[in-house]
Amino acid sequence: MTEQTCIELQAVSHSFECGAEKIHLFDDVSLKLHRDCVTSIVGSSGAGKSSLLSLAAGLESPTSGDVIFTKEGVSVTPEEYRKHIGFIFQQFHLLPEMDALSNLALPLRLKGVSQADEKAADWLANIGLQDRAHHKPSQLSGGEQQRIAIARAFISEPDYIFADEPTGNLDVRTGAMISDLMLDCAQETGCGLIIVTHSRVLAEKATHCFELVNRGLEVLS
């Protein structure tokens, strides 16, 4: 029976050329990403974590192997699937000229969603920043900016969200708060959350935890 919505990596390998040298990141990696689950991937710098994330998000094609995207039981193209995913990055990527409310409402406005500002205001309240609605990013702390970036990723109700080192720029205490916020949002919305991180503490909070090591993927939990 075909799963209704999932992303499946089948024996994917990935490499790139650096001058005359060919760099192999990983070989024959197979992984199934389920909606309603949190998946974390850890590994040393240069192991290929971000590249694996890009493959799973349909932003890159593997050197070999297949990435299969299934939406409501139907196989779809990476281009189609990208309409149903969101991203959280180490850098917050908020537009500096817009206030918090407008940054949060922007994805909805671009999709022509009615009452975008009202929905953005609800999300600001959910993350405890309703009193910062009209502050621009330069007037917000790093933790506050990342909370808005997280809400922005979830506000469009995607099937999956891909988080690349979401706590990398934050101190330990703020990082722990941000981690809990992401996990709470994923649970409340039923969104699949895939996290690439150096933080073992964050990684171990996931439903499934993997490590990229020796050019392969090992199950940690």
Residue 3: the pLDDT is 64
Residue 7: per-residue pLDDT: 96
Q: Are 188 and 21 in contact (CB under 8 A)?
A: no
pLDDT tens-digit map of 174-197: 999 999 999 999 999 999 999 999
> Which residue bears the tokens 């024959």?
28
Count Cβ atoms within 10 A of the Cβ of residue 56 and give its class: 0-12 exposed, 13-18 middle, 19 or more buried: buried
Q: Comparing C-alpha atoms, which of 48, 62, 56 is closest to residue 7?
A: 56
Average pLDDT over residues 209-221: 92
| CA separation for the pair 190, 130 (Å, rounded) | 24
Reported confidence tier of residue 77, pLDDT bands at 50, 70, 90:
very high
**Could you write out the DSSP letters of every residue in 166-204?**
TTTTS-HHHHHHHHHHHHHHHHHHT-EEEEE-S-HHHHT
What integer is the mean pLDDT of 10-25? 89
- Sheet (strand 38-43) strand order: 85-89, 160-164, 192-196, 38-43, 208-213, 216-219
Give the domain ranges of the chain.
6-219
Structure tokens at 207: 């439903």
CATH topology of domain 6-219: Rossmann fold (3.40.50)
DSSP category for residue 23? E
Q: What share of the chain is helix, strand, coil (3-state, %, to 5)?
A: 35, 30, 35
